[in-house]
Amino acid sequence: MVEIKSFNIDGLLAGLGSAVLRSIRDPFAIIAPDYTVLWLNKAMGFIHGKRHEDAVGKICYQFFRERQQACEDCPLYDVFAEGRIQITERSKELPDGVRGWGEVKAYPVRGEDESVEAAFLIVFDITTRKKASEKQKEYTKYLSEKLDAQSGREQTVYLDEGDIAIKTSLTSREKDVLRLLTEGRTNIQISEMLAVSPHTIKSYVISIFNKLGVSDRTQAAVLAIRYSLV
């Protein structure tokens, strides 16, 4: 059960500075533990098709979703209950009729006694990345079906007029890189997730290509999925 405490939003806003808040262009909101909207910017209001001025002081799930209780998968719940940062992905049809994808990040705001007194909620647009990922999945599926239609020796498959040997040994780190590569991650994203330099990731990718006998990321992803290499 989340304990509701009074929260000095004026003090918080004064501490952050109105100029700082106005500079945030991504959808952004500050929510109290009882889900009252303390502050939000125009971008957050836009994605919900609401005037941002009208939301302040309202219960977010009532105002935005017309619900009588918090959404079951709301990222704010664990922020308030356990004080943990929450990151999730959501899709939504925007007021202009275009469906967009966002990476939703919720951060706890702690008081002097370390209790969670509010949450910052910010949404980063990942629509382009998601569309690219879906396109990659579609192509991967196509190539996987092409593999199934081919006949060959027991440990060799044929793809795009070339032999691809699948009997190989990958190191544990190469498997990590291949798994993330299969998810459509870029070298930069993989380097950030594995905490190594992009140059090192590039070396791993080259090694993986050489071991699998492939020439691009999609072919590597196909083999990884088709033969459970990760």
Domains 9-125 and 129-226 belong to one CATH topology: no
Any idea where the domains of the chain sit in the sequence? 9-125, 129-226
- CA distances for 203 relative to 83, 119, 219, angstroms: 39, 40, 17
* In CATH, 9-125 is 3.30.450.20: yes
Query: Tokens at residue 4, please?
Result: 């509701």
Residue pair 67/55 in contact by the 8 Å Cβ criterion = no
Query: Quick check: pTM over 0.85?
Result: no
Q: Looking at the domain 129-226, which fold is it?
A: Arc Repressor Mutant, subunit A (1.10.10)
Q: What is the DSSP string of 113-152?
A: TS-EEEEEEEEEE-HHHHHHHHHHHHHHHHHHHHHHH---
- Tens-binned pLDDT, residue by residue, of the chain (230 aa): 344 445 555 665 555 556 666 778 899 999 999 999 998 898 998 888 888 889 989 999 999 888 888 888 888 988 998 888 998 888 887 777 778 888 999 999 888 888 898 999 999 988 888 877 777 777 666 666 655 554 333 334 444 444 444 556 788 899 899 988 888 889 999 998 888 899 999 999 999 988 888 888 888 888 887 777 76
